[in-house]
Amino acid sequence: MARQSHGHTCAALTSSRSPLQIRPYEAADWPGVWALLEPVFGAGETFPNDPDISETEAQVAWVEQSQAVMVAVDATGALVGTYYLRPNSLALGAHVANAGYVVAEHCRRQGVGSRLCKHSLQTARRLGFRAMQYNLVVSTNSAGIGCWQRNGFQLVGTLPGAFRHKQLGYVDALVMVQELVEGPTP
């Protein structure tokens, strides 16, 4: 999970009249998605993107290189989270999904990230993926790690010093995975 700052509460969970809605990304959503991504990428704490990434580069990375992009909209219509879903690898590894998530800072620790994760797992199954793998979960991202574990992901490896944290220097990165289908592999 990544950070963004707003000085108010998250209407996604504070309003009983309208629940959080997760829906497909539309081109008109880009300004809201960029408002979520820019401070997170700039922080250099959870995503491997260049902290000085341009808006155009971010749009290519988040939207154009993804198979599915979703946004979470709160009761007021504000965009409060997003995720992408894409194959983790090429050709013979393309049956394993990869995803990335960003939640508005004022909505963190209120279940939005978990809802996005669950939605992405359902979307991945619907698209025919057999597993989901996170390649570079920054070891200092305790909120994200806890969320992924609560949603069924298992730690399968540690990559020593694999992430260059903007504040802490080289820190470990974790590889986490979840099977999406049961039974024997053909």
3-state SS class at 169: strand
Q: What is the pLDDT of residue 186?
A: 56
User: For every one of its 186 residues, what pLDDT tens digit does the chain have, with 9 covering 90 and above?
Assistant: 443 333 455 654 544 445 899 999 999 999 999 999 999 999 999 999 999 999 999 999 999 999 999 999 999 999 999 999 999 999 999 999 999 999 999 998 889 999 999 999 999 999 999 999 999 999 999 999 999 999 999 999 999 999 999 999 999 999 999 999 976 655
Residue 145 inside a domain? The answer is no
Domain CATH code at residue 49: 3.40.630.30
Q: What Rg, from alpha-carbon coordinates, does the chain have?
A: 16
State residue 57's pLDDT score: 97
Q: Output the pLDDT for position 11.
A: 58
Q: Is residue 115 part of a domain?
A: yes
pLDDT at 136: 96
Cα-based angle 20, 22, 26 (whole degrees, multiple of 5): 130
pLDDT at 1: 46
**Residue 63: domain span:** 11-132
Q: How far is CA 82 from CA 33, 51, 114, in A?
A: 7, 19, 12
Handedness of CA 9, 12, 13, 14 (dihedral sign): positive
DSSP conformation class of 56: H
CB 36 within 8 A of CB 75: no
Question: Does the residue 164 lie in any domain?
Answer: no
Q: State the Cα–Cα distance between residues 78 and 9, nearest whole angstrom.
A: 12
Q: Is 80 part of a structural domain of the chain?
A: yes
Total of domains in the chain: 1
